[in-house]
Structure 1
Amino acid sequence: MPNKQITKRVIDSLKPRSGEYFVWDGSLAGYGVRVQTTGAMSYVVKYRAGSGRAAPTRRLTLAKVGTLTPDEARTLAKKTLGSVAHGADPAAQRAADKRASTLAEVAEQFLTEHVEAKRSASSAGSYRDLLERLALPELGTRKAGKITSAEIQRLHSKNAHTPYQANRLLRVLSSLFTFAGKAHAVPTGFNPCRGIEYFPEEGRERYLTTVELARIGEAIREAETIGLPYAVDQSKPKAKHAPKEANRRTIVGPHATAALRLLIFTGARLREILQLKWDHIDFERGLLLLPTSKTGKKTIVLNAPALAILSGLPRASDYVVAGALPDQPRSDLKKPWKAVSSRAGLRGVRIHDLRHTHASVGAGAGLGLPIIGKLLGHTQAVTTQRYAHLDADPLRKASEHIGSRLASAMGEGSGQGADVVALQVKGRSRRE
């Protein structure tokens, strides 16, 4: 059709034909209306993607007629054609956006190619659970490269009632977007998690005192010898058939009690002990040579108490802590730990706190955080920094040194045996 100013009157006059046709605007080159055989109409722009006659011609649909007025469509066409003048290719960008991966697709690639290949099975399961339970139901269908910081912030805030979990989710998502950038699934450097503030977390570490450790030791010895007492709910129908109170005891097997002791003496993680095989142990050099762990291949130094436990433990399976089946590791220690910790009178103590206790003893003895970090298998120094407040030995030595010298100078009894300080008074020395 001849070029004419596209107005509402012109659009109302357009009728469908046997074939598709276009009506181009007389004042804005490249802006027009497409009329289909069904009668459906849409605003379009036409342009060359590049300079010269060899540059390909593109046609981009702006919107359906009826969703925008002709003047609104003209304004959008000017903006689109203006971006073309600056080197953009809106049609190609739209096609790329359609091909772009959703967050759900990127998440699956992240989990299979990165997490499951480089992390332990338990860590991989934790990553997948957080993403599939919390993130993907909210953002899974969104294009990964289009997700905004505001959307991540809303997701983080939605889980404020569980701050530790919310922060963990934020860390996992941040790792996901870093991976996606390297895999070219999103623009390099794109990470909408960046800059979002984490919720404050209450300290989860719990360190057992010497008295509590003594009670734990007593409870473990009782568990493996005469058994731990248990209560019977008298309201239950079968309560009358239960053994007499004096006979209500449950013996915890040697492998479970050995596992609890090894957790305390080695500071190892739970899975590292439960999945430990006999051929991972070098008795001659006193080492556990783990082929895999949360942080990859790892060596754990065995002290004398740990070696004694392993040397005296019967070999009932390929695994040190024998499970129900000889070719499979024990899945957890929930029941024996609950029984032992309850008998010891401990409340709110997690089995992971045994690892924290192992580290706290070393920190309190002034062994130094780098050494403790190596014993625990930390790959980042910042991970060991949580025990810095327990490393009081250098401060204690300094305080004792200063205090003893001051006491000696003052003639106090607590300074006996320390060096006496000669205090300077108006140019001469005298002993105080």
Structure 2
Amino acid sequence: MPKLTKKVVDAAAADPARKLMVWDGELRGFGLRVTPAGVKSYVVAYRTAEGRQREFTIGKHGSPWTCDQARDRAREVLRAVADGVDPLAEKSAARSAMTVAQLADLYLAEGPAEKPNKKPRSWETDGALLKAHVRPLLGSRTVKGLTRADIGRFQMDVAEGKSARKTEAKRGRRRVIGGKGVAARATATLKAMLSFATSRKIIADNPSSGVQLLKQEKVERFLSEKEVAKLAEVITGLEDETIIAPAYAGIFRMLMLTGCRVGEMESLQWDWIDAERGLIRFPDSKTGAKVTPLPSPAAEILTLFPRRVGDPYVFPGTRGRWGRISALPKAWDEVRAAAGMPELRLHDLRHSFASFAVADGASLYLVGKVLGHKQASTTEIYAHLRDDPLKAVADATAQRIAAAMRGKRA
């Protein structure tokens, strides 16, 4: 038998009819298991002190388990066996006693390797939700002890604010709140983590199966033309008074003129802009790489920010340590307060861009393309805006009929 190497492992082909074992020629008991589906995992075969044959799974081939790392782990397992320990029994006992907090640590550490297409920002959000809500309410519970009722109760507890508190954050103290939206997102993250635990055989069944997520009432805010004029006037005034930085004012105007997401404008780089063709080529976004139009009014905004040597970003002097524009939310608070629109969110500028496009007769398909929506259903929130011209026709017709009913001529 040859020594297990990456070349040997890569060459091992799956047999659709049965499990395939490839044993290492150097370390007795160390081997590679290939399932009929092609999943490759490193294992250690051994006998307990009572003579029972066991097969200890080290982990799947690939990050973090290379041949050399798996061989080192196999040696540790075999040394434990020589000392009279049954590693598989210990592993089973550890899984039985694993707490939700420990599972959260494992999920965040090893989950990204199993879901390589999930964006780092999404994993950061998962980590924040687990820290803010799952750990305080369920962290000390054992994973195997969780029931469907526990998951449902967790969601309601978060919605009612039982995990709400003030925490230390990168940008100062932050209020962790409850509500249906937060509860649904936290529960969705918990469900994904428990699905991970099921795939790792930490638990046999996912206790969150069948738990329905709370529906939050979405209130979409669309600006009118008068409100757009008011907002633009306020942004200019606050910029002139140096209450907000020119970079923030530029970002707010770009959001109004392009329909882009806040994060896309925060991280906008000069190399992504194709001024000649009037395009912005985002290498990554919430929905992956995309190309979005750069309207001429938006291109004029960019001329106010000359490119600086050694700085790839369009908007200067505002980027925080973690690559985010640290004071942007505070600047926006100044704008909406001065405009008398305290409920207006930055994301509503994107909604308003779409609402103007639809009201002018653009199809939902084209609006979705401009916004970078992958699913047509995402653009459907603007469908009702198409009814405005129909309403005008209906109103005019009804007025004429009503006049006739009163015996008058329209």
Same fold per superposition (TM over 0.5): yes
Structure 2 residue 369 is matched with structure 1 residue 374: yes
Give the structure 2 partner of residue 297 of structure 1: 289
Structure 2 residue 201 is matched with structure 1 residue 205: no
AA aligned to 2:239 is E
1:300 partner SS: strand
Structure 2 residue 335 is matched with structure 1 residue 320: no
Among candidates 173, 176, 182, match of residue 190 of structure 2: 173
CA distance in 2, matches of 1:159, 1:271: 27
Give the structure 1 partner of residue 234 of structure 2: 219
Structure 1 stretch displaced more, 286-295 or 258-267: 286-295
Structure 2 residue 138 is matched with structure 1 residue 139: yes
Aligned pairs for 1:270-281 within 5 A: 270-281=262-273
Give 1:111 shift: 2.9
Give the structure 1 partner of residue 126 of structure 2: 127
Give 1:338 shift: 2.2
Among candidates 90, 95, 98, match of residue 99 of structure 1: 95
TM-score normalised by length of structure 2: 0.62
CA distance in 1, matches of 2:207, 2:375: 25
CA distance in 1, matches of 2:200, 2:370: 35
Provide closer, same or farther for how the CA distance between residues 396 and 102 of structure 1 changes in structure 2, counting only shifts above 3 A: same
Number of positions where the alignment pairs a residue of Structure 1 with one of Structure 2? 303
CA distance in 2, matches of 1:133, 1:141: 14
AA aligned to 1:149 is R
Give the structure 2 partner of residue 355 of structure 1: 350
Give 1:403 shift: 6.3
2:231 partner SS: helix
1:392 partner SS: helix
CA deviations on 1:163-196 (whole Å, 9 max, x unpaired) are 2211111122223333444455444xx4433333
Give the structure 2 partner of residue 334 of structure 1: 329
Give 1:289 shift: 1.6
CA deviations on 1:304-343 (whole Å, 9 max, x unpaired) are 2212212332224321111256995532412322222222
Structure 2 residue 275 is matched with structure 1 residue 283: yes
1:159 partner SS: helix
Give 1:223 shift: 2.7
Provide closer, same or farther for how the CA distance between residues 268 and 311 of structure 1 changes in structure 2, counting only shifts above 3 A: same
CA distance in 1, matches of 2:136, 2:333: 35
Structure 1 stretch displaced more, 395-404 or 330-339: 395-404
Give the structure 1 partner of residue 74 of structure 2: none
Give 1:260 shift: 0.4
2:159 partner SS: coil
CA distance in 2, matches of 1:114, 1:304: 43
CA distance in 2, matches of 1:179, 1:285: 45
CA distance in 2, matches of 1:145, 1:368: 51
2:291 partner SS: strand
5+ residue gaps, structure 2, are 1-50, 54-87, 161-178
Give 1:145 shift: 4.8
Give the structure 2 partner of residue 110 of structure 1: 107
C-alpha contact 1:274 1:332 (8 A) present in aligned 2: no
2:362 partner SS: coil
Give the structure 2 partner of residue 364 of structure 1: 359
TM-score normalised by length of structure 1: 0.59
Give the structure 1 partner of residue 45 of structure 2: none
CA distance in 2, matches of 1:322, 1:96: 54
5+ residue gaps, structure 1, are 1-54, 58-91, 228-249, 415-432
Give 1:389 shift: 2.8
Give 1:394 shift: 7.1
Percent identity for Structure 1 against Structure 2:
36
CA distance in 2, matches of 1:181, 1:212: 51
Provide closer, same or farther for how the CA distance between residues 105 and 376 of structure 1 changes in structure 2, counting only shifts above 3 A: farther
Structure 2 residue 193 is matched with structure 1 residue 193: no
CA deviations on 1:370-420 (whole Å, 9 max, x unpaired) are 33233222333333333333332574487479769989x999976xxxxxx
Give 1:152 shift: 0.6
AA aligned to 2:313 is Y
CA deviations on 1:72-126 (whole Å, 9 max, x unpaired) are xxxxxxxxxxxxxxxxxxxx99973543554334433433445695455544332
C-alpha contact 1:177 1:191 (8 A) present in aligned 2: yes
Give 1:274 shift: 0.8
AA aligned to 1:322 is P
Provide closer, same or farther for how the CA distance between residues 400 and 346 of structure 1 changes in structure 2, counting only shifts above 3 A: closer
Provide closer, same or farther for how the CA distance between residues 384 and 112 of structure 1 changes in structure 2, counting only shifts above 3 A: farther
CA distance in 2, matches of 1:212, 1:295: 30
AA aligned to 1:157 is M
Give the structure 2 partner of residue 149 of structure 1: 148
AA aligned to 1:384 is T
Provide closer, same or farther for how the CA distance between residues 220 and 270 of structure 1 changes in structure 2, counting only shifts above 3 A: same
Give 1:142 shift: 3.9
Give the structure 2 partner of residue 163 of structure 1: 180
Give the structure 1 partner of residue 176 of structure 2: none
AA aligned to 2:260 is A
CA distance in 2, matches of 1:356, 1:295: 17
What is the alpha-carbon root mean square deviation over aligned residues? 3.8
Give the structure 2 partner of residue 266 of structure 1: 258
AA aligned to 2:152 is Q
CA distance in 1, matches of 2:119, 2:206: 25
Q: Which has the larger radius of gyration?
A: 1
CA distance in 2, matches of 1:98, 1:334: 44
C-alpha contact 2:305 2:315 (8 A) present in aligned 1: no
C-alpha contact 2:247 2:318 (8 A) present in aligned 1: no
C-alpha contact 1:224 1:251 (8 A) present in aligned 2: yes
CA distance in 2, matches of 1:182, 1:252: 50
